[in-house]
Chain A
Amino acid sequence: MDKIGIIGILGTSLDRPTAVERWHQWRPSVAICQQDDLIVSTFLLLYPPTHQTLADCVAHDITLVSPETQVETIPLPLENPWDFAEVYGALFDWARGTRFHQEETEWLLHITTGTHVQQICLFLLNEAHYLPGKLLQSSPPRGGKDDVQGSYALIDLDLSKYDQLAGRFQRESLASQDFLKSGIATKNAAFNHLIERIETVVLRSTAPILLTGPTGAGKSQLAQRIYQLRQQRCALEGAFVEVNCATLRGDTAMSTLFGHVKGAFTGAQRDRPGLLREAHGGLLFLDEIGELGLDEQAMLLRALEEKVFLPMGGDRPVKSHFQLIAGTNHDLAARVREKAFREDLFARINLWHFHLPSLSERREDIEPNVSYELERFAQAENRQVRLNKEARDRFLQFSQSPEATWKANFRDLNAAITRMATLASRGRITIAEVDEEIARLRDAWQEAPSQNDHERLIHETLGPEAASQLDPFDRVQLGYVLSVCQQSRSLSEAGRTLFAVSRQNRSRPNDADRLRKYLARHGLDWEKSRHQGSL
C-alpha cells in the first residue's frame, strides 16, 4: 500500500491555541492525524515564519498523537496571505522546487486551513498538476463533544469518477451532440464520431475551426449550430455573421469585411463597420474561404492574431474580438502550394480541421434526414406532408443505391423533398411523385455520363434488387459489357469488341460463347441485355 502524505498550510486561527486548552478543540492539522482509518506518513506543513511557535506546537502534537507521522515544517513567507498573485507565486515556486516521490506516496492536499486565497491556490495548483494528489477536506466533530478529531473527506477532481456526475455529463454531452446534429438521429458511425469530437472542441476551445467537405454537406448549418451551442453553453453574446467569400470581389470585399470610413472611395458616403466588427463578441463564418483575395487574407490574419485591423481609408486600427469558423470545399493545402492561399493563415485556421462527409458516404443517414426534411417543410410551409410506406421505401431504395450520387448532397435531398412535398396532393407523397422525382434527380445527375449511364444500365437490366447485390468491382465490368451490347447488332459483334485482344491468340475464337456465359452468370441473356432503351 502507498504511504499517505499530507500537504497543508498551518491554520493560524483554526490550529490554535498553544495552551493546554487546545486538546479540547478541533484543530484541523492535528485532527487529520488522529483519524482511526488514516495513517499519515509525512506531513508537509507550510507556515508563515511569524507563527513559528504555533507551527512547532502543532508539529509536536501531531507526533504525539500519530507517532507514524514525520512532520516537516516549511516556512512560507508571505507579505499578504490574501494576495492572490503572491500566494500563487509562492506556492508555485515551492511546488516546483519540491520532489514529491509520487511513486511511493499518495498525496492529499489539506484545504481546510489557510486563507481562502491559499486554499484556492492549492486547488488551482492541483488542477494544473503542479501539486500532486487529491484534495482533503476535514470537518469539525458534530454533536458529541468528546471526539475532537472530527471527520474528513477526499475530493477527487477527476469528476468522471463520480458516477452520478458522470451520468449527468454524459447526458449533457449527448444533448449537445444531438443539438449539433439538428436532432437528427444519424446512424453513420464516422459522422457521429466526428460530431462527438466537434462537440468537445467547440465547448473547450475558441480557436478557429476549419470545416471542409463538398458543397451542401452541411457546413453552414453546422457553423450556425456551433454558434447556438456556444451561445447557450459558453455565454457567447455577439451575433452570428455569415458570408460566402466567393461573393466578395474587388474593393467591396475589403469594405464588406473590414468596413470603411466615410470618403474612403467614391461612393463611400458614410462609415461602414464591416462584418468583422459586426461579429465582435460573436462568431464569424467565412464560407469558401479559399476564394478570399490575398490582400483580404493578410488583413484577416492580422485581425485573428492581434484582434485589430484597419478599415479602408481609416488610419486608426479597430478592435474586434470574434470567433472564426472557416468553410471550404477546396483543397486549401493545394491552394497554398499554388500560392493562392497564405500559408500562415492556413496554419492559423487549420488547428481544428473537421471534414464533413458527403451524403453518398453516409447513405444510412438519408432515412433520418428524409424525416427531418419533411418536418422542416411542414414548419416552413405550415403544411404536414407524409410519405406512405410504399413511396418511402421506393425513394429510400433509390437514394441509397449507388446510382444516386447526391452530387449537391443535402441541397439535393432538401430540393427533392421540397419538390415532392409541394406536388403531393392531400398531404400525401405517393409512388407517382417519388418516381417522377427519381427521374428528375437522374436527369440532374446526368452530367457524369459514362459512370452514371453504366449504373443506370445495370439498374434497369437487372432490376434494383439484383443491382444492389453487386460489388463495385463487378459493377464497372458489367456496366461496360451492357453498354457494348446496346451498341452491337449481334452477340457475336459484341463478343468481338469485348474480347478484341485475347481472340487473336486463339485458333477458334469463341467470343460469343464467352459473352453468353458471362451474361448467364448475372442471370442475363442476349435479349435481356438489350432489353432496355439504348444510349
Chain B
Amino acid sequence: MIAIDGSDGGGQILRSSLTLSLLTGEAFRITQIRGQREQPGLKRQHLTCVQAALEIGKGAADGAVLGSRELVFHPGKVAAGDYHIRMSTAGSTTLVLQTLLLPLLQAEAESTVVIEGGTHNPMAPPVDYVQDVFLPVLRRMGADVALTLERYGFAPAGGGRIRARIRPSALTPIHLIARGRCLEERARVLAAHLDEGVIKRQRRALAKGLDWAEKALQTEVITESDGPGNVLMIGGVWEQGSEWVSTFGKRGRTSESVVREAVKGWRRYVQSGAPVGRRLGDQLLLPASLAPGSRFRMESSSNHFETNRRVIESFLPVKMVTREEESGVVDVKVTT
C-alpha cells in the first residue's frame, strides 16, 4: 500500500492520489489530511470527491467521514457509466471532473459524467478554462473528451451543471516548447445578478488596463443562475497553447482592483513566453506522466506543482526532470 503524507498540502494531494490510485489499481493510505489547514481533515467537497472515486472505481475506503485525518482507499476496476455527482456548498465541479477524467479514459466504454455545484469558483479552474485551455491539450494527446457547461453556478449558491462525455483513449506524449503565433486575444466580464454599473466600471477598467479595442471585450450577462456571480477573464490563443487568467469580483472589492489583478496575471504569462501557464502546468503533470517522453515549458513553478510531482512519483515509475531557465520558466521532462 502506498503511503501519502498529506500534511504539507490541501485537497489537491488527496485528489491526485485518488486519480493515481484509480489509474494504477494501487491502494493508498493518506495521513494528516490537510494537516496544516485551520480545520484539518476531510471537508464536505473532499468527501464527495472520495465518494465519486469510490463509485466509478467500485472501490472501498476506510475513514471516509467528515473531519477524518486519515483515509485508506482500495480501488476496484474503473467502470464506464453514466454518473451524476452533486457537490454541496457550491463546491467546484471542475476539480471533481479532473479527478475522474483520466481514469475514465481508461475504461472500456463511453461514460457521461454530470456534475452539479459551482462552475466558477475562486480556488479552482473555471469551466471555460478546462474547456479552452486544458482539454485542447489533452485532445492533442489523444483523449476523446467533450465538456459542456449547462448552467452557471457561483459560490455560495451553486446550482451549476457541467456534462462531460468521455470515450476510452490512449494518451501519447506531448511537446509544448514554444507558443508560436498569437491567433486571438480577448477579455470577458461574466456577470450574474450584478448591478449594471459594476459591469460598466469593470469594462472601462479593462479597456484601460489592457489598451485593447472595444470589440475584444465581451460582456456576458447570465440570468440562468441561482445566485449572483462575477468573473473577469483575460485570455488568448496561440498556435501552440492557450490561456485564461481569471479573477473573481466580490462584495467589498473595487472593480479596479479586480481588473488590476487579472491584468497583472495576464502580463506575467505573456512576458514569460512559455506556452504553458502556471495553472496548466499543475494540471498537465498527471496526463504527461501517463505518456512518458512528454515535455513542456511552463511559466513558473509553484508549490502545487511540487506536491503533485511528489505524489505522482509515489505511484508511477516515472521521473520528472525539471530545469529552471533564467527567466523563471521551467522546462519539464517526463522520463521513465
Cβ of B116: which chain A residues have Cβ within 8 Å of it? 67
Q: Flag B191-227 by CB within 8 Å of A: 1 or 0 each.
A: 0010000000000000000000000000000000011
What residues of A have a CB within 8 angstroms of the CB of B89 in the complex?
A: 34, 36, 65-66, 149
Contact between chains at A65 and B251 (CB < 8 Å): no
Q: Tell yes or no: A460 within 8 A of B by CB.
A: no
Chain A CB within 8 A of B69 CB: no
- Known contacts A20-B193, A145-B252; A66 and B66 CB within 8 A of each other: no
**What 7 A-B pairs come out closest when comparing CB atoms?**
A67-B86, A23-B227, A20-B193, A36-B43, A145-B252, A66-B88, A64-B159
Of B86, B87, B156, B251, the residue contacting A149 (CB under 8 A) is B156
**Interfacial chain B residues near A36, Cβ < 8 Å:** 39, 43-44, 89
> Given known contacts A34-B88, A37-B39, A39-B66, what 14 new A-B pairs fall within 8 Å (CB)?
A24-B251, A36-B89, A37-B41, A37-B66, A64-B157, A64-B158, A65-B90, A65-B158, A66-B88, A67-B86, A67-B116, A68-B86, A146-B251, A149-B89
In contact, A61 and B66 (Cβ under 8 angstroms): no
- Minimal beta-carbon separation of A103 from chain B (angstroms): 19
For A, the interface residue count at a CB cutoff of 8 angstroms equals: 20
* Closest B residue by C-beta to A30: B156
Residue among A39, A68, A145 making CB contact with B251, cutoff 8 Å: A145
* Residues of B close to A65: CB separation below 8 A: 88-90, 156-158
Bound-state CA distance A65–B41 (Å) is 21
Residues of B within 8 A of A (CB): 39, 41, 43-44, 47, 65-67, 86-90, 116, 156-159, 193, 226-228, 250-252
A64 and B226 contact, Cβ closer than 8 Å, known pairs A37-B39, A148-B156 = yes
Point out the residues of chain A lying under 8 angstroms from B251, CB to CB: 24, 145-146
Q: Give the chain A neighbours of B66 by CB distance below 8 A.
A: 37-39
Chain A: minimal CB distance from B193 (Å): 4
The residue among A24, A34, A65, A66 with the most chain B CB atoms within 10 A of its own CB is A65
- Min Cβ gap B194→A in Å is 10
Measured between alpha carbons, how far is A146 from B251 in the docked complex, in Å? 7
Distance, CA A145 to CA B227, complexed state (A): 16
Is A1 at the interface (CB under 8 A from chain B)? yes
In the assembled complex, the CB of A3 is this many whole angstroms from the nearest CB of chain B, namely 12
Q: Which chain B residue lies CB-closest to A20?
A: B193
Q: Check B228 against A24 for contact (C-beta < 8 Å).
A: yes
B176 shortest CB reach to chain A, Å: 35
For A62-79 the 0/1 string (1 means CB < 8 A from B) is 001111100000000000
Query: Which residues of chain A in 18-72 are interfacial with respect to chain B, using CB atoms and an 8 Å cutoff?
Result: 20-21, 23-24, 34, 36-39, 61, 64-68
Q: Given A34-B89, A68-B88, answer yes or no on A146-B227 (Cβ-Cβ < 8 Å).
A: no
C-alpha spacing A67/B43, complex, angstroms: 15
Q: How far is the CB of A85 from chain B (nearest CB, A)?
A: 39
Q: Mark A412-433, 1 if CB is under 8 A from B, else 0.
A: 0000000000000000000000
Most buried by A among B88, B90, B116, B157: B88
